[in-house]
Amino acid sequence: MSRASLRWVPRLATPAWLLVAVSAGAFLVALLVALGIFAAYGLNPLEAGATIVRRTLMDGRGFGEVVRKSIPLLLAGAGMALALRARFWNIGAEGQILAGAVGASAVALFVPVGWYTIPALYLAGFVAAALYGLVPAYLKARLGVNEIITTLMFNYVAIYTVRWLINGPWRGRSVTGFSYSDRFARETYLPLWEGTRVHLPTLVIGVLLALLITWLLYHTRLGFSIRVMGDGPEAARYAGIKLLPTTLALAALAAGAAGIAGAGEVAGIHHRLIEPTSISMGYGYTAILVALLARRRAWATLITAPLLGWVFAAGDVIKVSLQLPFQITDVIIGVTLLLLVASEPLLSYRPVWHRAREATRAPTPVPEPEEKPS
C-alpha cells in the first residue's frame, strides 16, 4: 500500500510566468473585492466598473489624469525597486517627494530665472531628496539602526517642515484660507500635454530613469554590489563589498528619484509650495506596492505604475460619479499588498506529492512444539 502526502520543497529558481501570474492575480482579486464593495453599496458592480473604465481610459481628460498620477508613482517606484533589491526597506519616499518639492520651490522662489531654470528645478529636487535619504542610510550602515523606523519617521519630519515653511518664512503675501507660498514665475512652469495636466519632462525623466536603473543593476560594479547585498550582508562582506558607500549610493539614488517626482508636482501642477497632503496624495507609500508588484524590477514599474495610477484616477470617478468614498482605492491597494505578502511562500517553495510505501509486515512464525523423548 502507498500513502500520498503534500510536501513543500524549496525552489531552485522562481519561473518568470509565476511572478507575473501572482502579481496579476493579486491585483485582479483586489478589483473583484472593489466590485463587491460597489454591490454592498447597492450599485450594479458591472455598471459601476464600466463607468470607471469609460471615464478613465476612454476619455481624453480622464486618461490624462491616469498618466499624470502615474508619473510620481513611476519615479518613486523605480527608486523603491532599486532599494528593495538590496533589502533596504525605504518607507520614506513620501517624505522624499516632499523634500524634492521643497528643493525645487527654493529654486523657483529665490533663484533668478534663465535658460537653466527648469534643469535647476529638477537638480535641486534630486539633491534635496538624496541628502534627506542619506541620513537613514548612514544610521543603518554605520550604527545598525532599523531603516523602516527611521525612514518612516522622516516622512513626518518632511510634512511638518513643509507646513512650517508655508506658514512661516515662505508664506505667500496674498494667502487666503489654506496656507501656501507665492506663485512661481511663469518661466518655471513645465510644459504640459495639451488638454491635460501631464508634465511631459517629468514623464520622460521617469521612463529614462527606470531604464537607467535597470542598466545600472546589471552592467555596473555598483549594481553588482547592490544585488549581492540583496543576498545578505554576510554574502556582501564575503564578496569584499563595502557596505557603507554602497548603502549611501543606493539610498541617494532611490530618494533622489522620489525628489524628482516632487519637483515635477510643484513645477508642473501647483506652481507653488502648498499643503503636503496636496503635493503627494500617498504616492510615496503606494510606490512600495508599485515596486513589489514589479517584483523589484525597475523596468517593470513602467507597467505597474500606470496600473496604480489608474487606481488613483478611478478614485476621483468613485467619489464624483458614483458618490462613494474615495477610500475604496485604499481597499484595492491594501488587498493587493496583503495578497502579495501572502503569496511569497508560493514563490519560494513548490508543492510536491510524495508517495510513501507502507512496509508489509510478514506474519510472525509460530514455533513448533518440541517432541518429548520417549
Q: Is residue 1 part of a domain?
A: no
Q: Indicate whether 321 pLDDT > 90.
A: no
Q: How confident is the model at residue 350 (pLDDT cuts 50, 70, 90)?
A: confident
- The terminus-to-terminus CA distance of the chain in angstroms comes to 49
Query: pLDDT tens for residues 68-82?
Result: 999 999 999 999 999
Q: Which three cell numbers stand for residue 86?
A: 538590496
**What is the pLDDT, as a whole number, of residue 341?**
78
CATH code: domain of residue 101? 1.10.3470
Instruction: Tell me the C-alpha distance between 16 and 18, whole Å.
Output: 5
**What is the pLDDT, as a whole number, of residue 295?**
87
Q: How confident is the model at residue 320 (pLDDT cuts 50, 70, 90)?
A: confident
Mean pLDDT lowest among 19-28, 92-101, 194-203: 19-28
- DSSP character at residue 185: P
Q: What is the mean pLDDT of the chain?
A: 88
Whether 39 and 157 share a structural domain: no
Q: Indicate whether 257 pLDDT > 80.
A: yes
E-strand stretches of the chain? 2-10, 349-357
Instruction: Tell me the C-alpha distance between 139 and 2, whole Å.
Output: 57
**What is the pLDDT, as a whole number, of residue 121?**
96
Can you give the pTM of this predicted structure? 0.88
Instruction: Tell me the C-alpha distance between 189 and 230, whole Å.
Output: 40
Q: Is residue 146 part of a domain?
A: yes
Identity of the residue numbered 64: G
Q: Indicate whether 373 pLDDT > 80.
A: no
Closest CA to 90 of 245, 247, 309: 247
Identity of the residue numbered 282: G
3-state secondary structure of 230: coil
Structural domain range at position 173 = 67-309
**What is the pLDDT, as a whole number, of residue 246?**
92
Q: What is the mean pLDDT of residues 151-180?
A: 91
Q: Is residue 57 part of a domain?
A: no
Whether 12 and 88 share a structural domain: no
Q: Which residues contact 187 (CB under 8 A, 6 or more apart)?
A: 113, 117
- DSSP character at residue 175: -
Neighbours of 281 (CB within 10 A): 18
Whether 14 and 77 share a structural domain: no
3-state secondary structure of 192: strand
Q: How confident is the model at residue 102 (pLDDT cuts 50, 70, 90)?
A: very high
Whether 132 and 256 share a structural domain: yes
Q: What is the mean pLDDT of residues 125-137?
A: 96
Query: 361 or 94: which carries more pLDDT confidence?
Result: 94
Whether 31 and 156 share a structural domain: no
Whether 72 and 181 share a structural domain: yes
**What is the pLDDT, as a whole number, of residue 359?**
54
**What is the pLDDT, as a whole number, of residue 369?**
60
Distance of CA 274 to the CA centre of its chain: 23
How many distinct structural domains can be found in the chain?
Answer: 2
Q: Indicate whether 170 pLDDT > 90.
A: yes
**What is the pLDDT, as a whole number, of residue 47?**
92
Q: What is the mean pLDDT of residues 7-32?
A: 82
Instruction: Tell me the C-alpha distance between 131 and 52, whole Å.
Output: 40
**What is the pLDDT, as a whole number, of residue 99?**
97
Q: Indicate whether 360 pLDDT > 60.
A: no
Q: What is the mean pLDDT of residues 330-352?
A: 80
